[in-house]
Amino acid sequence: MVTEEEIRDALRRVIDPELGRNIVELGMVRGIGLADGEVNLTLALTTLACPSKDRIISDIKSAIRALDGALIVNVKLVEMSAEERAKIVGEQQVKQYVAEPFNEINHVIAVMSGKGGVGKSSVAALLAIALRKQGERVGLLDADITGPSIPRMLGLHELPGTSPLGMLPAVSPGGVKVMSINLLLAQEDEAVIWRGPLISSAIRQFWGDVLWDRLDTLVIDLPPGTSDATLTVMQSIPLNGVLLVTSPQDLAGMVVRKAARMAQLLNIPIIGLLENMSYVQCPDCGRQIEAFGPSRAEETARALGVPLLGRIPLDPELARRCDSGEVESYPVDAFAPLAATISVLVPDVKSKPQF
């Protein structure tokens, strides 16, 4: 006959993939009832919208059935109170973050697409540069751990320094503070073959263990996809909003809509949509060639109910300066309106999202 104690012990093997600790230690197991071959268990989640919910429940059932395969396991879900949630998140932060209490960051904006190769990184870099040229104190956090582009674009290669309060960001010639995994690798083309938990922990460290100091705006360059990296940024960093980047292809639009839905599900405001690579201008005859097909940006923006902030052409000169680490010398006039738009929009999204 299985005892409640044995069940509790078995549940110590169930790890919350989000928090990396077992559900008993986290105080998520609220009550265990045993009667007539049935186990009735109450599980408190940080949020009922927890994306790992199904996995945790399935792990609980496996762990209990490993004790006695005939047991029927019923899991009742409840949601933690704000205090309980704060305590867990607080413990995580006390454990992990060194520099965060010393940072003072006014606005955090993530550049997101869902789709790869639409120019998120160049938009993020140009936005940071434009804000910097307006006199803001600006940081740029490269959350793309497996495909980081930011240091190369800004010509940064040196290992960042450290202080007793945390890692120090690298600083671009123009004065943008930068943190990226590629600053920490011996060679920029070294592969980072990490599964999700390590990716997430690197991103959390870039937020909490880097001494950003005082910033008006921190721009975060997200990787493609709606998995670990994006989820960690959205759940662990108090974003003021996301800027969506798309390309003219409707296929890209479809994936960008997935990203937008993710932001909506997690209550992160969408600042607007920006279409990149809209056309290529022929240097000989001036013809505007729609290399990725006709634009669908207005359609996509309307479907998402967000403003279309602009359409940027595909410019070989931008590609060249990104490759050679001179993106700061790219004439950002074309982007100043964008930077202005963002500055106007930011106060509207100042209210931090609810967790």
β-strand partners of 177: 139, 171
In this structure, what are the phi and psi dihedrals at residue 310, rounded to the nearest 5 degrees? Answer: 165, 170
Task: Report the interhelical angle of 228-236 vs 250-265 (nearest 10°).
Answer: 40
Residue closer to its own copies (CB basis): 72 or 265: 265
Rounded to whole angstroms, the Cα distance separating 237 from 231 reads 10
Residue closer to its own copies (CB basis): 287 or 352: 287
Residue 239 CB, nearest approach to its own copies (Å): 15
What is the number of helices (H) and of strands (E) in the chain? 11, 17
Rounded to whole angstroms, the Cα distance separating 120 from 113 reads 7
Residue closer to its own copies (CB basis): 30 or 258: 258
Residue closer to its own copies (CB basis): 72 or 198: 198
Residue closer to its own copies (CB basis): 256 or 338: 256
Residue 103 CB, nearest approach to its own copies (Å): 26
Rounded to whole angstroms, the Cα distance separating 278 from 252 reads 12
Residue 286 CB, nearest approach to its own copies (Å): 9
Residue 108 three-state SS: strand
Name which of 43, 45, 34 is nearest 67 in CA terms.
34
User: DSSP assignment, residue 190?
Assistant: -
Residue closer to its own copies (CB basis): 225 or 346: 225
Residue 77 CB, nearest approach to its own copies (Å): 18
Residue 86 CB, nearest approach to its own copies (Å): 22
Residue 68 CB, nearest approach to its own copies (Å): 17
Rounded to whole angstroms, the Cα distance separating 77 from 24 reads 15
Rounded to whole angstroms, the Cα distance separating 268 from 237 reads 11
